[in-house]
Structure formats: structure tokens, C-alpha cells
Amino acid sequence: MRPISPRARALTAAAAVSVLAGAGAVAMQTEASAAAGCRVNYSVNQWSTGFTGNVTVTNLGDPISGGWNVTWTFSGNQTITQGWSATVTQSGQNVTATSPSWAGSLGTNATATFGFNANYSGTNATPSTFKLNGVACTGSVGGSPSPSNPGTSPSNPGTSPSNPGTSPSTSPSNPGNQGPKVDNPYAGAKGYVNPEWKAKADAEPGGSRVSNNPTAVWLDRIAAIEGTDNSSSNGSMGLRDHLDAAVAQGAGYIQLVIYNLPGRDCSALASNGELGPNDLPRYKSEYIDPIAAIEGDAKYKNLRIINIVEIDSLPNIVTNTSGQAGGTAMCDTMKANGGYVQGVGYALNKLGAIGNVYNYVDAAHHGWIGWDSNFGPTADIMLQAAQASGSVNNVTGFITNTANYSALQEPYIQPTVTVGGQNIRQSKWLDWNQYSDELTFAQAFRQKLVSVGFNSNIGMLIDTSRNGWGGSARPTKASTSTTVDTYVNESRIDRRIHAGNWCNQSGAGLGERPKAAPASGIDAYVWVKPPGESDGSSSLIPNDEGKGFDRMCDPTYTGNARNGNSMSGALPNAPISGAWFSAQFQQLMANAYPAL
């Protein structure tokens, strides 16, 4: 589930921002008799020789079907090199963006969002006029400009209160459950203990030592929303069951993993999902809409509902497409069709509109995007997904290390250390990464996210459920070796064979227990991956949950480009992802740090 992305396969700086799609993207009326009117928000993220443009167009007139196009004219030498979520062509200074086949109609007050990369020199002025299907976008119907909302705005559309990406019915200013949101939903609140996970943990020798810790509930398929017959041995609680139980417990917060994107986890097979790459409409109507309806029930208004949004999705289309080591055709597809950005944007929009709901977007981990070439582009695509939701206010923060094993802190192998006159970043383990642990990475990535346009009060979460690496093998001091690789391997807390290994890792232990506000910029240490739940099966196990078999979960596997062709380090005899894995749970307790 958690592939590594060495700098050798990272994106180039010229493609620093890659994908953008609309939240609720769709169409515009083409009949001449229809009332016409439109509004455009245009923003850029630029550097010395290039920029990324983000365009959101809103149809203020009658609905139109049959496709739309947005046109404008650059005033300088801007040259578009790449577009997404629309076919973007250029002739001289004139640009035309045409609707994609999957989003060719747009209703009244509906929006479409697309983006592009471009080169320039000198000045990069905002185009003065945009047209939608030949009609000038003045911000009102019939061509009269709207004083309160000009046709073009250089400001970031993700932070505009009047941003058209959010309809009045789902706007953050009109939440389903009224009331101001707190800055940190974990602070001063008791977490929900999932009784299903607790029962499994209590059934293990010594499991009661940890079974009262709050863990997340994974909604990893449509059927998980409703749950199954609890009278059977295979029964499971649904979303409403868990929310009711949280209220009964007197919990202050509950953690839910929103995890069912179309073409889910495009670079790993063990966590593939039930929806195909073109199933975005099903994702919206059969998955997100029912979740939003339940979370928005007034009976839960005093419960802080924390959503962990779509593990692995956005980082995958930054780092795991073709041309990069380990890139996959499925990641190419999901980048091209905009399904991940649109899906995440839709989820953020629908769920963020609820007054007691808090969204944390998954932001991979240091061993995936800690290289400069991945760090910035990943922050940029996070912003694009938030903008697709209508507002960055739909994002409370981000989570790192979800279901992964990266050490919280590495006291002896910080990237500034030198050994024998050589910087340890050149070691095989670090591979020139700028970060060696999750805490320093999460704090730095938070600053980057704020710098690209997120609110300054966003907080980070770190999943510490399996990154303790305690026990007798845990280093207690730095190595005395003067050889870089030997020094790093003898000094590092994380004892995986390779930082790209992610499945049921041998030797892992429970990490810090769930804790609110443990460090600067960190909202909480959390157990989002419930300890004892498998990452994937060691061999192919047929199932009806859409769970595939990934060789990275096979202890005999000798690896691939994403883990430096190293052994997988996986435990044997593992069940499918999400199923209870007793041997792993016992190992995690034995190697817990701090010790139990």
C-alpha cells in the first residue's frame, strides 16, 4: 500500500503541478436560445520560467448539453505544454480548452475545473477576457458584470468565500450541522474505541493492555457503510452502528477512513478496491453521498467526526506513472481521467460541508515523497484536490505514515549527519532523501502546504500504530563505524530491509499511543491502521471484497524497482488486507516502543 519513490523516478520541476479536475464537473448548454452567462476564476502557481494555471468556470445560464469550451487570449509569450481535465490547445496567443468526453455537459450553477502547465518569460499577466461557448464570462447572466464577483480573479479560488465550486446546499458556510469547528478535534476529547477491534485484541494473550486505544474504522467498500448481519459470525457493524456506539460510549471523536476511490491504489494490488477506473459516478452516488447523509444526521452533531480521506491516491499519480521506476498503467489512467482529484474533491466538498466533520487528507510518508522532486508536486496536487472541492476550508489537515512503518524519530541518522567526512544522505538507506523520519517530515510538509495556499492553522496527524520498532534490536546509541552505509544501518530505528517495504513487516512494533497535540504542528499521534489487521495476503486468497494479491506481501519475493529489488520483509501466512492477523498483533506488542 505504501510504495517508495526514489528521486531517480521523481517528476521534473517543469511538471511541478500535474492534475486538476472539477468538483461536480460537467456541462454547458449550446442552444442559441438558451440564456447565457458565466463566471471564471483563474489562478496560477508560478516560478521563474513556468507556471501552473487553474481555471474554474461556472455556468450561470440555462443548462446546456453537448460539450463546452473555454477560450482566452494571453497577452505575453505564455506557451502551454500540458493540460488536464480538458483538451487544451493553443494557436499563437489564443487558447481553447474543450470539455473531456466524460464531462461534456454542465447545468445551471454547475462548475468545471481544469488546469495546465505553461512556460513564459517576462511578465505573466492574467488574461482580460474569458469566453464560454463564445459568450464572454462577466460574472452574470446576459453580459452585465457582477460587482461582487468579477469575471476573472487572480486570487486563489480555493480560498474565496464566493468560490463557485461549492453550491449553496453544501457550502462550508451552510453546514448540515451548525456550529464553529474547533482548531484541533483531538484536543480535550475522548476517542471512540471500536468494539469489533477491541474484541479481537482482547482475545489475544496480553491484548487487553492496548485494546482500549481508539482506532479508525475503515469504510473500504460500499457494503461497509451498511455493514452486514451481526447475528452471523462474519457480521460487521455499519457506519451508523459505529456512530451510535460512539455516542453511547460518550466519545468526543470518531475516526473513519474514506477509502474506495475508482481505480484505488493504482500502484499496489493488495489494496485494490471494488470500483473500476471509470466508476467515479458510482463513487459519488453510492459511496460518498450515503456517507455524507449519515454523518450529517443531527443526532451526531456533538460528536467530532474525523475523516481520513483516501489513502495513497494523490501521491500515486505524482510518483507512480509511466516513465518512473515501478510506474503502472492504472496510475496513468487515473492521472489522465482525473478520477482521483475529482473523487477526493467531491468527498471533501460533501463531507466538509457538515459542521462537526473534520477532513484529513492522506499525504504519504517521508520515504515516499521526502525527495525535493516529489515534495513540492505532492503539495501542489493536494491543493488542486482542495480547490476542486470548492474551498481549502474543507481540509482540516493531513495525515502521514498511514498503515506504514516509518519511524517517528530517528535520533542518530538525521540527514545533516556526516561520517568519515561524508554526508549520510548518500547511504543506500536514505538514497539522498531530505528526511529520515516522520516527525520532521510532517512538520516540514505542513509548512510547504501552508506556503502553497492551505490555511495556516492546518494540523498534521501521524499514524504511529506500527512504527515503534522496539525490542532488543532497537539501537540505543549511534554506531561508531566510519563507513556511511554501516553507520546508518547500525544506527537507524526503522529496521526494514528497505524503506519501500510496506506489507506486514517483520520486526515491527506498536508505536506511540494515540495522543493529542504531541508536537508543534501535529494535531495528534493516531492509530489509523488498527494493529493486527493485515496489509495483504502472503499468497493469493480468493475473496469477494476486491482484495488482490501483491507480491510485496510474499516473504519469498525478491522485490522490484520500488524497493530497490530487495526482499519484501513480509511476515508469512498473512490473510487478506483488513483481516485479523494474530501473529502480527503478537509481534507488534512484543516490539512496542514505548514498551507495554
pLDDT in tens, 519-538: 999 999 999 999 999 999 99
Specify the pLDDT at position 546.
Answer: 73
Question: Could you confirm whether 312 is annotated as catalytic?
Answer: yes
Give the confidence band of 149 by pLDDT, cuts at 50, 70, 90: very low
- Tell whether 220 is in a known binding site: yes
Q: What number is the average pLDDT over the span 458-465? A: 98
Question: Could you confirm whether 265 is annotated as catalytic?
Answer: yes
Using a 10 angstrom Cβ sphere, with 0-12 exposed, 13-18 middle and 19 or more buried, the burial of residue 570 is buried
Q: How far is CA 388 from CA 36, 111, 394, 505, 515, in A?
A: 24, 10, 10, 36, 32
Q: What is the pLDDT of residues 232-260, one digit of tens each?
A: 455 789 999 999 999 999 999 999 999 99
Question: Could you confirm whether 535 is annotated as catalytic?
Answer: yes
Specify the pLDDT at position 30.
Answer: 27
Place of cell 567526512: 421
Specify the pLDDT at position 320.
Answer: 85
Domains of the chain by residue range: 25-159, 188-590
Specify the pLDDT at position 25.
Answer: 28
* DSSP helix/strand/coil, 419: strand
Question: pLDDT higher for 152 or 437?
Answer: 437
Whether pLDDT at 65 is above 80: yes
> Beta strand 357-362 with 397-400: parallel, antiparallel or unpaired?
parallel
Ranked by mean pLDDT, which of 30-34, 84-88, 162-166, 233-237 comes out on top?
Answer: 84-88
Whether pLDDT at 151 is above 60: no
Whole-model pTM: value is 0.73
CATH 2.60.40.290 fits 25-159, yes or no: yes
Q: What is the pLDDT of residues 261-278, one digit of tens each?
A: 999 888 877 677 789 999
The helix, strand and coil proportions of the chain, stated in percent and rounded to the nearest 5, come to 25, 20, 55
Specify the pLDDT at position 290.
Answer: 96
Q: What is the pLDDT of residues 1-31, one digit of tens each?
A: 444 433 333 333 333 333 322 233 222 222 2
Specify the pLDDT at position 115.
Answer: 81
Whether pLDDT at 451 is above 70: yes
Marked catalytic residue, from 362, 431, 523, 535: 535
Q: With pLDDT > 90 as the criterion, what percentage of the chain qualifies?
A: 68
Specify the pLDDT at position 11.
Answer: 31
Q: What number is the average pLDDT over the span 526-551? A: 91
Whether pLDDT at 465 is above 60: yes
- Tell whether 131 is in a known binding site: no
* CA atoms within 13 A of residue 556's CA, in its CB half-sphere: 3
Specify the pLDDT at position 35.
Answer: 60
Give the confidence band of 229 by pLDDT, cuts at 50, 70, 90: low
- In sequence order, the 6+-apart residues with CB closer than 8 A to the CB of 245 are 192, 195, 237
Question: Which one, of 417, 412, 467, 423, lies nearest residue 442 by Cα?
Answer: 467
Give the confidence band of 518 by pLDDT, cuts at 50, 70, 90: very high
Specify the pLDDT at position 177.
Answer: 59
Whether pLDDT at 545 is above 80: no
Whether pLDDT at 466 is above 70: yes
How far apart (Å, rounded) are the C-alpha atoms in residues 372 and 307? 28
Specify the pLDDT at position 5.
Answer: 38
DSSP string of 13-47, one letter each residue: GGG-S-----TTB------TTS--BEEEEEEEEE-
Which amino acid, residue 445?
Answer: F
How far apart (Å, rounded) are the C-alpha atoms in residues 55 and 197? 45
Q: What is the pLDDT of residues 472-497, one digit of tens each?
A: 999 999 999 999 999 999 999 999 99
- Tell whether 533 is in a known binding site: yes
Here the cell at position 190 is 475522548
Specify the pLDDT at position 270.
Answer: 66
Q: What number is the average pLDDT over the span 359-384? A: 95
Specify the pLDDT at position 140.
Answer: 72
Specify the pLDDT at position 198.
Answer: 97
Whether pLDDT at 574 is above 50: yes
Specify the pLDDT at position 539.
Answer: 94
Place of cell 499514524: 463
Specify the pLDDT at position 142.
Answer: 57
Phi-psi region of 453 (alpha: psi -120 to 50; beta: other; left: phi over 0): left
**Arch. (CATH architecture) of 188-590:** Alpha-Beta Barrel (3.20)
Marked catalytic residue, from 265, 380, 437, 554: 265
- Tell whether 368 is in a known binding site: yes
Q: What number is the average pLDDT over the span 95-115? A: 83
Specify the pLDDT at position 410.
Answer: 97
- Average pLDDT over the chain reads 85
